[in-house]
Chains A and B, each alone.
Chain A
Amino acid sequence: GDSVTQMEGPVTLSEEAFLTINCTYTATGYPSLFWYVQYPGEGLQLLLKATKADDKGSNKGFEATYRKETTSFHLEKGSVQVSDSAVYFCALSDRPSSASKIIFGSGTRLSIRP
């Protein structure tokens, strides 16, 4: 079945460092891809999305490009802040026009040192 694999955490960086969180997926069709973020004590929030190959999703300085040839959707940010500390989930939806259950990766905990 469809699945998402993302790099294990925790990831600890200093403020203003460059961030990459790797994500690869397996899907039989043409999924939509997402990054969700879970800040401490809060619910999951959609961070960004891409619905077709070569699309770039972006939000709050984060970016991810849908790479069909490598089945990847890596999350990047040029300069992280302490407020970016959270758990990040890569996810896919294999039926964007219908039920759209979301399949999540296991999450990557990110901690940013001041």
Chain B
Amino acid sequence: GESVGLHLPTLSVQEGDNSIINCAYSNSASDYFIWYKQESGKGPQFIIDIRSNMDKRQGQRVTVLLNKTVKHLSLQIAATQPGDSAVYFCAENTITGNQFYFGTGTSLTVIP
């Protein structure tokens, strides 16, 4: 099956700094990518998504970058806040739209 992985399992940042979380995917045919945030004791929560016809998409304080050449996805969080502390997952959707593949997650800790 597909492989979606993360470069770093943990990330610590100072409050107010920008955070960058990376993700690699292996299936060049995938055309839809999603970032989720999971807080302790809760289900994953949608943050932002991007389709393969784009290379950048911005939301409120978050930006997702897609580099299809090297099959790399990143999530940038601007002015990181303590409430951003969570585990972040990237997910990849097959071109048929049926199956989703998740990375193992990066734990983000924001230091006040």
Instruction: Decide if A and B are genuine partners.
Output: no
A residues within 8 Å of B by Cβ? none
| Chain B residues engaging chain A, CB cutoff 8 angstroms | none
